[in-house]
Structure 1
Amino acid sequence: MKDKLAQSERRFAELIWRLEPIGSGELVKLCSREMGWKKSTTYTVLKNLCEKGIFQNQNAVVTSLLKKDEFYARQSRRFVEDAFGGSLPKFLAAFIGGRKLSDTQAAELKKLIDEHKES
């Protein structure tokens, strides 16, 4: 699966995730109304996202092969790999960027680390 989506593809994907299962004809009407797309544009973008393994269009019904959370989790992991050499501590240091964590945030992070720590 290719993780990167153009902004228009992401908007389109968000529509599908929000409304699935959705008929492809209904999707065409919705994209015309909300995005100003022609039928051919909708089907081209849908085809591209199906080829990327994110959605499927079977019997004129569009559903996801990857749920929204799964897709964004993969994107996040790819970003950490590409930008920080896979180092989660480097990513967190950059993300926090000198800000202070609240006691609640620090406790949540500690809990998350403990739950995912290798034994």
Structure 2
Amino acid sequence: MKRFTDAEQKLAEIIWANEPVTSPKLVQICKEELNWKKSTTYTMLKKLEIKEIFINNKGIVESLLTKEEFYAEQSKQIVDEGFNGSFPRFLAAFTRHKKLSSKEISELQRLIEEHKED
């Protein structure tokens, strides 16, 4: 799965926040929030459709992947590519310069227990 450009990221966030959204409404939102022209919105939407994240079906724009599904896949890709698939190596690198709060540690422990192989 390919990563987003900054512009694609902005459009994706708008779509996720407003879906299902009509194409004209999406153009209006992008004009107001991003100062984009209609052609820019449609060009960027087409790029996201090619990446199979969103679909424009008869003027209704919807996601093919939820925001959570997309970012979960992106996170997996980062771990796979940058840390040879090792989540512990990723976590060690992440925490090298950032201490975890007690709340974060508790949440991680809960997640580990929920996803532990039997």
TM-score strictly above 0.5:
yes
**After TM superposition, which residue ranges in structure 1, 4 or more long, deviate above 4 angstroms?**
none
Distance in 2, matches of 1:108 and 1:40, equals 44
Q: SS at 1:110's partner residue?
A: helix
Which consecutive unaligned segments of at least 5 residues does structure 1 have? none
Report the counterpart of residue 112 of structure 1 in structure 2: 111
Q: How does 1:1-119 map to 2 (within 5 A)?
A: 2-97=1-96, 99-119=98-118
CA RMSD of aligned residues (A): 1.5
Paired residues, number: 118
Q: Percent identity?
A: 50
Question: Normalising by structure 1, what TM-score?
Answer: 0.90
CA deviations 1:26-53 (Å, max 9, x no partner) are: 1112112211211111111111101111
TM-score w.r.t. structure 2 length? 0.90
Rounded Cα–Cα distance in structure 2 between residues aligned with 1:14 and 1:100: 29
Whole-Å separation in 2 of the counterparts to 1:62 and 1:42: 12
Please say which of residues 95-104 and 21-30 is displaced more in the overlay: 95-104
